[in-house]
Amino acid sequence: MSELWIGTSWKMTKTLAEARAWTSGLVEALDGAAPDGVQPFVIPSFTATTTVRGILGEDSPVLLGVQNAHWEDAGAWTGEVSVPQAKDAGAELVEIGHSERREHFGETVETTRLKVAAALRHDLTPLLCIGEDAQVKEAGGSSAFILEQAAGALEGLSERELARVVIAYEPIWAIGEKGRPATTAELREPFAELGRVYGDRAAGLLYGGSVNLGNAEDLLGIEHVTGLFVGRTAWDLEGYLELLRIGARAAR
C-alpha cells in the first residue's frame, strides 16, 4: 500500500505565535522522520507559510501547503496569491476547491480546473477537494455529483499528471461545527466509485469532514481511503499527533 496521508488545514485560525508553537511541537515530536507509512501535511494561512517552512526546515517529512492559489502566475489580481508565490514561500501542496471556497468565494469547477493545471505547471501537488451538500445526498446523488466535480477539475490531464493529484472527498454535510460525522456505511459507496475511477490513477483518495480521534481508525479502514484531511481535531497539536499514531497503526 502507498503511504497514508494525514494532514490538516488550519483554515482561518492561528496567529504566528500559535503557528510557531504547533509547528515546533510537531518537529520535536517527529524528531526528523514521519511515522512509517504516513505522509503528514499541514496547510496554514498564507501569512504563516514562511514561518512554518522555517520551523519545518527544507527537508522536512511534513509537506507544507497553501489553502488556495490563483491560476495566473502574476498580474492585477488584488488579494490573490499565485502558485509561484506560494512555492516561493515554501509550499509544496496547493489545496483547491474546498467547499468553503466554493460556497463563499465563487470557486467553480472551471476555476478548480485552472488551479489544478497551475499547480502541476509549477510542480506543486494539487489537493483537490470535492463533496456534495445534504440536498444532493438526500436525493441519492452523492457519487454522481462528486465524480462530476472531479472530472471537471481534472479534465485534460495526462495520466502522468493525474498521478500527482491528491483528491479529498469532503461531504459538506460532514464538515465543521454544523456538520455531523459521516458513518463508514455512508462513505463506502462514494469511495467505491472514486476508487473505481481514480484508485489506481491519482496520488491519493483522502476523506475529510468531522474526523476525530474516535472515528479516524474506522475511516482509514474504508476501502480506497488513503488518508485523512482534518480540521478542528488537528488544530490542537496533541490531536494531530494522535491522528498520526492512528495513521501509523493503520499503515501496518
Annotated catalytic residues are 98, 170
Q: How many residues does the chain have?
A: 252
Residue 232 binds ligand 13P, judged by CB under 6 A? yes
Residue nearest to ligand 13P (CB): 231
How many CB atoms are closer than 10 A to CB 193?
19
Nearest distance, CB of residue 5 and ligand 13P, angstroms: 12
Cell numbers standing for residue 100: 468553503
Closer of 179 and 195 to ligand 13P (Cβ): 179
Nearest distance, CB of residue 9 and ligand 13P, angstroms: 5
Cα separation of 43 and 47, whole Å?
11
Taking CB under 6 A as the rule, which mask of x and - marks residues 202-231 in contact with ligand 13P?
A: ------xxxx-----------------xxx
Nearest distance, CB of residue 6 and ligand 13P, angstroms: 12
Q: Which of 96, 175, 222, 244 forms a contact with ligand 13P (CB under 6 A)?
A: 175
Residues in a beta bridge with 130:
169
- 136: Cβ–Cβ under 8 A, 6 or more apart, which residues? 142, 145
| Closest to 240 in 3D by CA, of 211, 219, 218 | 211
Please state the φ and ψ torsions of residue 152, each to the nearest 5 degrees.
-65, -40
Could you list the residues that contact ligand 13P (CB under 6 A)? 9, 98, 170, 175-176, 179, 208-211, 229-233
